[in-house]
Structure 1
Amino acid sequence: MPKYCACFLFIICIWSAQSQVPEKIGDTLSVVEQDSLKRSKFFKQIGNGFFPTKYIDIDLRYLIKFNQYEGFRTGLGGRTNNNLSEKYRMVGYVVYGFKDHHFKYSIGGGFRISKSTDTWVDFSYTDDLQETGSSTILTDKRFFSFFEPRLLNISLFHHHITKNVSLEHRLTPYLLSEIELSRSNITPTYDYTFFVDDDAYKEFRMTMAKISLQWNPFNTFESDGDIEIEKDGFPNFTLQLSKSFKDVLGSNFNFFKADFRTIYKFDINPEGSSFAEATLTGGIAAGKTPLTHLYHTYPNNLDKQTILQRFSVAGINSFETMYFDEFFSDKFATLQLKYYLKTFDVSKHIQPQIVFISRMALGEMDHLERHQDIEFKTLHKGYTEVGMEVNKILFGFGLSFAYRYGAYHLPEFADNVAAKFTFNISL
């Protein structure tokens, strides 16, 4: 199946690229205006994570990545665009992990119910990995980051085969929603046993319903020709509710999850040359929930002996001194505060910016005895770290330093310190 998917995506991408024929424009002014609009549309699509061709938009997320379990992960993904059909779409990807020697893939499609509200019904079949303890927000797939540095260090994954149907709908210009029904077979790639009701589970079957809401009440909209550009306003809010149903399509467990996030940015001075950002996240899992669907609170530190051995790339909103797989929670909250100073105009290509950071996390875990063959701690004492970044020193690269203090401070000084690269680019 993965080979057929790969061939299918490769053929349609080549076909769509070769099908592009330049249009003839009557006069020079029209040529300039059309070129400007095309450039604006092109960079908007690149910023959303897609490289446009005539009929297929190539998904940039699947070209190349790296993590500790798969090693290099590379492949091809894409979706059909409005030039092929405004009412129907196909999406899919195929990737290969060079360390685990396995193909992963997803294939699906959908149809649009309403153009004015951007309402779509989608179906998909996915055979892939997911990070244990991560909480995937449905509406986040509409947003794209060129570089996700935290992925480099992740090692704890579970394999899942998931069939789902979803409904995307824009309730208002400021409120996105998505509902999903899914059926998954889940197998951890590490030693783990979940004990519940006198039964031991090493594989899980889950039938789940999710509803996700992304509310951006302060966003603004600007027109650039026939293109409408949405600009972020703050604060914004994300809420997702999830429910697993036992004995529905063979599902093993009943549990409920609620995830919340809000981001607020505000200028420190009238010119906006320095500003602050606060990110508050929280989640709760109630019921008989395996570790795969609990919370890890965004760690990003390798469990190595020296600072240089742990030297990697800093994340965007991760705890840089917290070791991977060190803590898990069934209820948690994090607060991250960042203060961005005005950039230093050293030269045209060197304009560093200093950022001061403070991070806090609090978590709990009920029924620790259910989780066997794996060791971890809880965050009931409260986790704290401070840090500083010097970003965009050269070609988007910078440096990050963080220090772990408080209740989870470690005996050896060096174990509390994290030094890393940062990487920031923007279109």
Structure 2
Amino acid sequence: MKNITYILLLFFAFLSLDVVAQPLHIVGQVVDGQSQEPLAFATVVFNHNPLWAVMTDIDGRFTFHASQAISSVSSSYIGYTAISAEVKAGQTNLRLEMQPSVQQLDELWVPLSENPANAIIRKVLLNKDRNNPEKINAFRYTSYNKVVVDIKSLNRTDTVALKAKLQGANLFLMESVSERKFLAPDWSEEVIKATRVSGLKNPTFAALATDLQPFSFYREHIELLNVHYLNPISKGTLTKYRFTLEDSWAQGGDTVHLISFRPLPNKNFEGLKGVLYVNTNQFALQNVIATPFQKGDIDLKIQQQYAFVAGKYWFPEQLNYTVIWGSTGGSTENIVAEGKSYIDQVQVDLPLEKKEFGNISLQMDPDANQRDTAFWERYRRAELSTSEIKTYAVIDSIGKKHHFDALLNSLEKTPSGKIGFKYWDLDFSKMLMYNQYEGWRLGFGAYTNESVFKKVILGGFVGYGLRDYQWKYGGEVIYKGNAARDFTVGASYQNNLTEVDKHEFDLSEPTLINLRNYMAYRLDQVEETRLNLGFRMWRYTQWHLSLLHARITPKYLLDTPVEPFEPYNNTQLSVHLRYAYKEKLIHTGKQHLSMGTAYPVFYLSYSRGLEGVFDGSLAFNKVEAAVEQSFFLKNIGKTSYRVEAGYVDTALPYGLMFTGEGGFSKKIPVLSKNHFQTMDLYEFLSDRYVNLFSTHNFGALLFKQGSFQPHIIWHNNFSWGDLSTKAPYEGSATQLKNKVFMETGLQLGNLLSNNSMSLASIGAGVFYRYGPYAHPGLQDNIALKLAFTFALE
């Protein structure tokens, strides 16, 4: 019995020792004591032991497993006063509130040879390709994304009232789940598997939710809201940025170095400021916080967190961004969008092949809007907060009451000049038009949409010119087949006015505003019947074939009308193509959107006049081609060019020849893209030509004066043309261009915004005409222009 007692005592002794030795599980969060916003990547130390240190994640949360009791915790963070607190017995959930530091660090110049941070950055640069996730041969991952929009300041009475109506909900909430696969160097395909948007049943824009920051922080330039910022870990960065080693601590068998960065004084470039957490394991970035050094109307902060996967790669684990509208100018109401992307199920070095990738880079799964609660619970990294749950409940109710889905359907077609309604789309570009021949035109245009027929569109327009007192009208039918192939076939008829010498190889959608149309005054009246066929073939190539018959009546106000300006019939077969290598296409479920390409885009058009076919009176061959590209040059800015050429093998009526490349109008002094700003609209006539348009946008690199940061844009344009036979065109008030036409110009853009991030840009430019076709008087060679840009630039 005594032995049994000893055995039991020994058993309970071991049991109690096991209980005592069990590790303590501590969790918590570090937040800003004033705003209550989480502080990402703060350092948390337990029992004042530097070996017992952890770092908060991108949401300010931390977890620690201790082998003995925890009595104290301390936290430090750049820009905040360090704190220390007692941990009570049994306390396992901590919340640390840190106060922003009021102490300002003095500017101190440290020679590069004495700066320890520079030595670390050099090692980061040396290992840059090794650690760049987009240098991995192939990978696949799943991403859960969430965007929350709300008003952070509540000083105004109407804002307080709005928040009261929302009952604690946010303004907007969007979630999505996507799967992406990648093959080096730049083959990428992402599918949105699920999406949910407050207030909407059928959202189509979730594909754009994660596109506000780069996938990794290893690119030479970090593009944020269309502004290219010099990456602090790019070549030559030590002469551009000041790095400061703020702290270092052990993490496992490695060391993490906390390095702050900001542009050096008097360095004129688009720079960032923030902190880098460098892990000595391959000297890789473990965490990044970055924001534009120059603040403006729109402010943006990004946070990135990386994890070591497969024992050899650092891969993004979480990507956050915060966008603030109204961050300057004394605004008391800031609209804030916060986006988070959680990346998991990462697979690397997969045996992927190019043939597994389609021509759509980003697309919506047909069932993305139909996912159930179980699906979302499986992919969410954290439960929705109380305010987020209320957001779905409240905003969904408001959206149903005010028909948000119908409103979205209307707005998504606006860039192409249409407003969507339940069964049809109003083409408001046909409602009010102007040119210098017919003056103002009042009209109406409408097309059926997918609510009537899924694959067939019926539509037309009618208009009346207030100066020429003539009606214009037309109609068309379009069948849309395979969406991935952009297959369309259609027929149209119109009795309308068209400007002479319109490029036939432009396959882009109509735009909302084209100020060039307002300048036109040489127009043909065209009664035309046309058959069209469009499709994609060879992945990046768009094709457009057309057969048309037209009765054309020139409407030129000339003193001596001769044969080229009399009515004629033209039957024409045309083939047009557009080739855009590696163009990033997004398919929203209703339409394709192009996000551009870094490579040149080629255009080619061939037209054949069919004499005797459907009463056609012309036989000719006409060829036009163009190539254009935009690319960013480090520390210099963005260069764009366009080269175009054309050839026709016989004399044709004036409206089918090459003219109209001029963009100078005293009545409408507006910059017209891909036109010559000092050349009269129809000054030259050619049957062969070559044009070069080149533009370099220095951005704000050359001039920054406080909040005044205009973009400096330099233009250089050249043109050559020739005319085999001029006799048929006497009286057309045009001349030959068999010498080189030259002009240069300086444009100031972004004049009314206080930084590069702006929703609209207004600018002005001055252009100078020189060379063989310069006018005798200096003033006659100068053109002043206004420029408008309605996009982030």
The correspondence for 2:663, drawn from 300, 318, 322, is: 300
1:417 aligns with 2:782: yes
Letter in 2 for 1:294: M
Distance in structure 1 (CA, Å) of the matches to 2:566 and 2:503: 20
Distance in structure 1 (CA, Å) of the matches to 2:688 and 2:614: 28
Distance change >3 Å, CA 423–CA 346, structure 1 → 2 = farther
1:369 aligns with 2:727: yes
Distance in structure 1 (CA, Å) of the matches to 2:523 and 2:698: 37
How far does residue 226 in structure 1 lie from its aligned partner after superposition?
8.3
1:158 aligns with 2:524: yes
- In structure 2, the residue matched to 1:325 is 682
Distance change >3 Å, CA 100–CA 352, structure 1 → 2 = farther
Partner SS for 1:47: helix
- In structure 1, the residue matched to 2:549 is 183
Distance in structure 2 (CA, Å) of the matches to 1:23 and 1:218: 33
Moved more, 49-58 or 29-38: 29-38
Letter in 2 for 1:283: G
Partner SS for 1:292: helix
Alignment of 1:151-230 (within 5 A): 151-190=517-556, 191=558, 195=563, 202-222=566-586, 229-230=593-594
- In structure 2, the residue matched to 1:385 is 743
1:283 aligns with 2:661: no
- In structure 1, the residue matched to 2:242 is none
- In structure 2, the residue matched to 1:136 is 504
The TM-score, its normalising length taken from structure 2, stands at: 0.46
How far does residue 297 in structure 1 lie from its aligned partner after superposition?
5.1
- In structure 2, the residue matched to 1:237 is 602
Residues 130-157 of structure 1, C-alpha deviations (whole Å, 9 max, x = no match): 11233333x53x4233322222222111
Distance in structure 1 (CA, Å) of the matches to 2:478 and 2:472: 21
Residues 232-276 of structure 1, C-alpha deviations (whole Å, 9 max, x = no match): 113111111111111111111111111111111010127xx8201
Aligned residues: 391
Distance in structure 2 (CA, Å) of the matches to 1:153 and 1:260: 24
Alignment of 1:28-39 (within 5 A): 29=392
The correspondence for 1:85, drawn from 429, 450, 453, is: 453
Distance in structure 2 (CA, Å) of the matches to 1:33 and 1:173: 40
Letter in 1 for 2:740: G
Letter in 1 for 2:777: E
Distance in structure 1 (CA, Å) of the matches to 2:419 and 2:440: 21
Distance change >3 Å, CA 152–CA 341, structure 1 → 2 = same
Distance in structure 2 (CA, Å) of the matches to 1:76 and 1:285: 36
How far does residue 84 in structure 1 lie from its aligned partner after superposition?
1.4
How far does residue 223 in structure 1 lie from its aligned partner after superposition?
6.4
Distance in structure 2 (CA, Å) of the matches to 1:117 and 1:135: 24
* Contact 2:409/2:420, CA 8 A, preserved across alignment: no
* Contact 1:311/1:419, CA 8 A, preserved across alignment: no
Residues 105-143 of structure 1, C-alpha deviations (whole Å, 9 max, x = no match): 110112234344232221111101111233333x53x42
- Structure 2's unaligned 5+ residue stretches are 1-199, 203-368, 373-388, 753-759
Distance in structure 2 (CA, Å) of the matches to 1:58 and 1:419: 36
1:360 aligns with 2:724: no
* Contact 2:695/2:716, CA 8 A, preserved across alignment: yes
- In structure 1, the residue matched to 2:697 is 340
Which has the greater radius of gyration? Answer: 2
- In structure 2, the residue matched to 1:95 is 463
Partner SS for 1:232: coil
How far does residue 363 in structure 1 lie from its aligned partner after superposition?
0.2
* Contact 1:244/1:253, CA 8 A, preserved across alignment: yes
Distance change >3 Å, CA 393–CA 336, structure 1 → 2 = same
* Contact 2:661/2:682, CA 8 A, preserved across alignment: no
Distance in structure 2 (CA, Å) of the matches to 1:358 and 1:238: 22
* Contact 1:312/1:420, CA 8 A, preserved across alignment: yes
- In structure 1, the residue matched to 2:772 is 407
Structure with higher RCO (Cα < 8 A, 6+ apart)? 1
Distance in structure 2 (CA, Å) of the matches to 1:229 and 1:98: 36
How far does residue 201 in structure 1 lie from its aligned partner after superposition?
6.8
The correspondence for 1:56, drawn from 414, 420, 424, is: 424
Distance change >3 Å, CA 42–CA 353, structure 1 → 2 = farther
Residues 344-384 of structure 1, C-alpha deviations (whole Å, 9 max, x = no match): 78799x76322110000000011111224322101101100
Distance change >3 Å, CA 60–CA 136, structure 1 → 2 = farther
Distance change >3 Å, CA 347–CA 131, structure 1 → 2 = farther
Distance in structure 1 (CA, Å) of the matches to 2:595 and 2:393: 27
Letter in 2 for 1:380: N
- Identity over aligned pairs, percent: 22
- In structure 2, the residue matched to 1:268 is 633
Distance in structure 2 (CA, Å) of the matches to 1:31 and 1:177: 47
Letter in 1 for 2:658: Y
- In structure 2, the residue matched to 1:123 is 491
Distance in structure 1 (CA, Å) of the matches to 2:638 and 2:585: 22
Partner SS for 1:287: coil
Moved more, 177-186 or 394-403: 394-403
How far does residue 229 in structure 1 lie from its aligned partner after superposition?
4.0
* Contact 2:201/2:405, CA 8 A, preserved across alignment: no
Distance in structure 2 (CA, Å) of the matches to 1:226 and 1:107: 23
The correspondence for 2:476, drawn from 105, 108, 121, is: 108
Letter in 2 for 1:319: F
- Structure 1's unaligned 5+ residue stretches are 1-21, 303-308
Letter in 1 for 2:652: T
* Contact 1:218/1:235, CA 8 A, preserved across alignment: no
Letter in 2 for 1:176: Q
Distance change >3 Å, CA 340–CA 39, structure 1 → 2 = farther
Letter in 1 for 2:676: F
Partner SS for 2:751: strand
Distance in structure 1 (CA, Å) of the matches to 2:457 and 2:762: 38
Distance in structure 1 (CA, Å) of the matches to 2:442 and 2:464: 6
Partner SS for 1:276: strand
The correspondence for 1:314, drawn from 653, 671, 674, is: 671
Moved more, 404-413 or 383-392: 383-392
Partner SS for 1:393: coil
* Contact 2:487/2:535, CA 8 A, preserved across alignment: yes
* Contact 1:295/1:331, CA 8 A, preserved across alignment: yes
Partner SS for 2:727: helix
Distance in structure 2 (CA, Å) of the matches to 1:31 and 1:287: 68
How far does residue 73 in structure 1 lie from its aligned partner after superposition?
2.4
Partner SS for 1:208: strand
Letter in 2 for 1:167: L
How far does residue 208 in structure 1 lie from its aligned partner after superposition?
0.5
Distance in structure 1 (CA, Å) of the matches to 2:406 and 2:698: 35
Moved more, 412-421 or 371-380: 371-380
- In structure 2, the residue matched to 1:149 is 515
Distance in structure 1 (CA, Å) of the matches to 2:692 and 2:465: 34
* Contact 1:133/1:328, CA 8 A, preserved across alignment: no
The correspondence for 1:65, drawn from 433, 437, 445, is: 433
Distance in structure 2 (CA, Å) of the matches to 1:379 and 1:96: 37
Distance in structure 2 (CA, Å) of the matches to 1:85 and 1:347: 55
Distance in structure 2 (CA, Å) of the matches to 1:45 and 1:31: 27
Partner SS for 1:376: coil
Partner SS for 2:683: coil
Distance change >3 Å, CA 165–CA 291, structure 1 → 2 = same
